[in-house]
Structure 1
Amino acid sequence: MTETIHIYHTNDIHSHFENWPKIRHFLQEKKSGHARDGEEVFLFDIGDHVDRWHPYTEGTLGKGNIKLLNDLGYTAATIGNNEGITLAHHDLDELYHDRAFDLILANLYKENGNQRPAWTIPRKIYQTKHGIKIGVTAVTAYFEKLYRLLGWQLREPFTELSDQLAALKEEADIIILLSHLGIQDDEKIAELYPEVDLILGGHTHHVLQHGRRLNQSLLGAGGKHGHYVGYVQLQLDKVKKKVTEKSAVLFETGNLEPPASEEKEIQWFQEQGRALMNHSVATLPESLMTEWFQESLLPSYLCEALAEWCEADCAFLQSGLVMGNLKKGVVTDYDVHRILPHPINPCSFKLSGKDLESVILQTLNPDWPEWELKGLGFRGEILGVFVYRNIEINKETSEINIKGKKLDRTKEYTLATVDMYTFGHFFPELYRLPKKYHMPEFLRDVLKWKLRRDYL
């Protein structure tokens, strides 16, 4: 005698609400069909549903996303780094206040390291109508330092997972892991912990069209931005209370039937976000314009703000971070968000003149302006040319002046820039040097601070 379990999963939606109406319609239809047949259905989200690039998410600080999960009747969810480290401590602490689903997360603790937040549980046992116990636990990516800066403590996920699985082996017949760790860690888990029957993953945006079998585990993941909805079917022996068959498939959202209200829903998200952020920041006497391939007013103004905010000797950033212009007249929160949607934080370094010289000369790389970056918090199109504050470069002699004086290779300087340059993909020096992340503020918060000071 067997029992069939239907599991649907999403991951890394990143507030791409243009795909949500189809996802919602599809999952509603599937859940209704299984309910008519008297079959068990579980619906899980594996994190990074919230992304503050979208005005609806920004305007609600993610609570609008939680309402969407509530409305669809999700069984449980976990958090990704976009929920965990792009919200101030009190905003994350309140994000799930009105949730109607279980928020499962084992490796996040309060700052004291002894208690988990009240809105999390480390594991949950779900019992089917035939008495089979399905144990679910979850872990999220180990950005320990960034969580600590925001007032949380994050435990190493494999250490936490070992403890949770030890308990679940005693409590559950079937074990499911919600993993916002990425494909490499998921594969490692499948090798180390054969007791895990199903690993539903995310974070690295990998696409497993028909899942992947590794040892005793089945891995499932659905890419990013709601391009796919994942489905797993488990056949369970009701007597032995074990999995006898398991299969996975992804449904491509672009091929799903849209609801009649699709366009109105998509537009509503945008309009609602704009209405929620229709608050005046400043009044500009003249427009501030942006160019990506030459120095222009708005990126330079932002770079100046960055240097001032971080109290730095000098600063640089790339003009492609600024995705539009600010027109003369009233500037609102929505306007600033529109041109700076990135979840990117200011970052500063104390470094020697020798290292500063090396970093600045690397910014002259002619390939960078047209680079179409994906990830690292960047939500733009291309990187654009570098703009500088208190940095002058003689491109013929490579001589550099800082605040009008020749760079001293033996002196210590403070450089302000953005956190995406610190993750090892750009400047080797900035990756290895000690750094200060200015959190929870984003670039747009720095720009609003300067606009209010200069033009309010």
Structure 2
Amino acid sequence: MIEKITIYHTNDIHSHFETWPNIKHEVTRQRQIHEDNNETMFLFDIGDHIDRFHPFTEANLGKGNIQLLNECEFDAVTIGNNEGITLAHEDLLSLYDDAKFDVILANLFLENGKRPNWAKPYQIYETASGVKIGVIGITVNFTSFYKPLGWNVTDPFAELEHLIPLVRSQCDILIVLSHLGLSEDERMAQYFPQVDLILGAHTHHVLENGKIINDVLICCTGKYGMNLGKVELVFDIKQRELVKKCAKLIPADELPIAKAEENFAENLYEEGKKQLLNPIAFLPEKLEIDWFNDSPLNDLIASTLTEWCEADCSFLNAGVLLDDLQAGIVTDYDIHRICPHPLNPCTVELSGAELKELLVQTVDDKYTTLKFKGLGFRGEIFGKVIYDQIDITGEGSNIQIEIGGEALEMDRIYKVATIDMFTFGRFYPTLKRAKKQFFLPEFLRDLLKYSLAKRYPLQR
């Protein structure tokens, strides 16, 4: 006798809700079909469902996303870095208060060593015929970001080393919900052949039919709800053996949608916008941005970054500001609209020689017209590098640099304010090695809001 078990999964939705009604309609339809056929079905999300670039998520700090997961009747989720490090400690602590699903996460702890009350390191599910399915959840351990927020995130592989033998002894099928990325999932498959299935996330890989390594099936749906993942497992009950496992992706935009939900994404956006209409400043005149030249709003965000971080100087890319601010009342929504990125301010400590090397790279920056998204950036193009308390004259071997009006000293250590995405090394490798301090949970837009409210208070 065999039992067929079907698993549907999503990952890295990032608050892109365009195909969410399609996914909801399909999993609801499939659930009824499986029930009618006396078959077992599970539905899992592998993290980064929330993304505060979206007004709906920003307005309710992710709790609306949890309601969407509830409505789809997910069985369990794990968290991604967007849940973990873009919310203040108390907001993450209460994020899942109304969740009607299990939150499975093995490697996140409070500072006192206890897990948050919503987190289960693993869960054992049992089908009608008695097949036991063990599920472990793990997330990427961005220690430098979790620690300032009051969390202790541990090495996921150390947790797996401990949990896999424990859970494997209690179940027939072992699944890991992994928000680690494909390369780490591949390493997991090599290290832990006891695992039957890894449902992956984080690096947004598209695995059309999954990937088998060491007889472990690895799956990932891409990002933004572009696909719904489907895994079929066939278990021989008599032999207590998993005899078949296969995976496929279902393109979400090809799925039918309930007519009443055709404007679903637009309605969520408007709902979030309405909740963000709180006034925070009054501008006597328009503040303009420019992605390729200096402008008043560019100058304001750069000087605010220096002030907030108590730094010697600052730099960032002009592309972080997406639009002008019009004269009159400025609301939370206006700030969110022009600066939607979940980017944190930070400081790096550089010697004068290192700072000169960095600034020379930025003068004729090859990234100015680069179109990209990722590392927290949710804009259109990189834009020119803008500075505060940094003056650069000359070129080539004759370049002259002043910091705060004084000539750059090669041996002096400078505290330089910037944004966290530059510290990952993709753009400026020098910063990856530098001593850093991250300012959390503030986003860059929080600094802009602070500065506007201070300089342009609301009229009484």
Unaligned runs of 5+ in 1: none
Alignment-derived partner of residue 190 in structure 1: 189
Deviations 1:306-344 (A, max 9, x none): 011011111111111101111101111111000111010
Are 2:415 and 1:423 aligned? no
Alignment-derived partner of residue 253 in structure 2: 254
Alignment-derived partner of residue 97 in structure 1: 97
Distance of 1:186 and 1:429 partners within structure 2: 29
Structure 1 residue 111 displacement after superposition: 0.8
Structure 1 residue 402 displacement after superposition: 1.3
User: 2:12 corresponds to which letter in structure 1?
Assistant: D
Are 2:442 and 1:447 aligned? no
Are 2:340 and 1:345 aligned? no
Unaligned runs of 5+ in 2: none
Alignment-derived partner of residue 413 in structure 1: 414
Distance of 1:433 and 1:344 partners within structure 2: 18
User: 1:262 corresponds to which letter in structure 2?
Assistant: E
User: 2:135 corresponds to which letter in structure 1?
Assistant: V
Alignment-derived partner of residue 275 in structure 2: 276
Query: What does 1:342-421 align with in structure 2 at a 5 Å threshold?
Result: 342-396=341-395, 397-421=398-422
Runs of 4+ in 1 over 3 A off after TM superposition: none
Equivalent pair of 1:336/1:448 in contact (CA under 8 Å): yes
Alignment-derived partner of residue 202 in structure 1: 201
Structure 1 residue 241 displacement after superposition: 2.4
User: 2:416 corresponds to which letter in structure 1?
Assistant: L
Distance of 2:387 and 2:96 partners within structure 1: 40
Distance of 2:213 and 2:157 partners within structure 1: 18
Distance of 1:259 and 1:299 partners within structure 2: 44
Alignment-derived partner of residue 38 in structure 2: 38
Alignment-derived partner of residue 437 in structure 1: 438
Alignment-derived partner of residue 14 in structure 2: 14
User: 1:77 corresponds to which letter in structure 2?
Assistant: V
Distance of 1:99 and 1:319 partners within structure 2: 39
Equivalent pair of 2:365/2:385 in contact (CA under 8 Å): no
TM-score scaled by length of structure 2: 0.97
User: 1:211 corresponds to which letter in structure 2?
Assistant: G
Distance of 2:440 and 2:27 partners within structure 1: 37
Structure 1 residue 240 displacement after superposition: 2.2
CA RMSD after TM alignment:
1.0
Deviations 1:21-73 (A, max 9, x none): 11111211111221222211100000000110100000010000000000110
Are 2:317 and 1:328 aligned? no
User: 2:446 corresponds to which letter in structure 1?
Assistant: D
User: 1:169 corresponds to which letter in structure 2?
Assistant: R
Distance of 1:174 and 1:351 partners within structure 2: 51
Distance of 2:4 and 2:364 partners within structure 1: 57
Alignment-derived partner of residue 68 in structure 1: 68
Q: How many residues align?
A: 455
Distance of 1:97 and 1:123 partners within structure 2: 19
Equivalent pair of 1:195/1:216 in contact (CA under 8 Å): no
Deviations 1:154-175 (A, max 9, x none): 1100010111111112111110
Q: Percent sequence identity over matched residues?
A: 48
User: 1:11 corresponds to which letter in structure 2?
Assistant: N
TM-score scaled by length of structure 1: 0.98
Equivalent pair of 1:47/1:77 in contact (CA under 8 Å): yes
Deviations 1:284-323 (A, max 9, x none): 1111111111111212211111011011111111111101
Equivalent pair of 2:124/2:133 in contact (CA under 8 Å): yes
Distance of 1:375 and 1:208 partners within structure 2: 20
Distance of 1:431 and 1:170 partners within structure 2: 42
Equivalent pair of 1:346/1:441 in contact (CA under 8 Å): yes
User: 2:387 corresponds to which letter in structure 1?
Assistant: Y
Equivalent pair of 1:134/1:172 in contact (CA under 8 Å): yes
User: 2:338 corresponds to which letter in structure 1?
Assistant: I
Distance of 2:363 and 2:258 partners within structure 1: 50
Distance of 1:304 and 1:263 partners within structure 2: 44
Query: What does 1:162-173 align with in structure 2 at a 5 Å threshold?
Result: 162-173=161-172
- 2:100 aligned counterpart, secondary structure: coil
- 2:372 aligned counterpart, secondary structure: coil
- 1:435 aligned counterpart, secondary structure: strand
Distance of 2:206 and 2:331 partners within structure 1: 38
Query: What does 1:71-86 align with in structure 2 at a 5 Å threshold?
Result: 71-86=71-86
- 1:171 aligned counterpart, secondary structure: coil
Structure 1 residue 357 displacement after superposition: 1.2
User: 2:382 corresponds to which letter in structure 1?
Assistant: L
Deviations 1:194-228 (A, max 9, x none): 11111100111011101111122111110011101
Structure 1 residue 366 displacement after superposition: 3.7
Distance of 1:146 and 1:366 partners within structure 2: 28
Structure 1 residue 276 displacement after superposition: 1.1
User: 2:118 corresponds to which letter in structure 1?
Assistant: W
Closer, same or farther in 2 for the Cα pair 1:139/1:348, shift >3 Å?
A: same
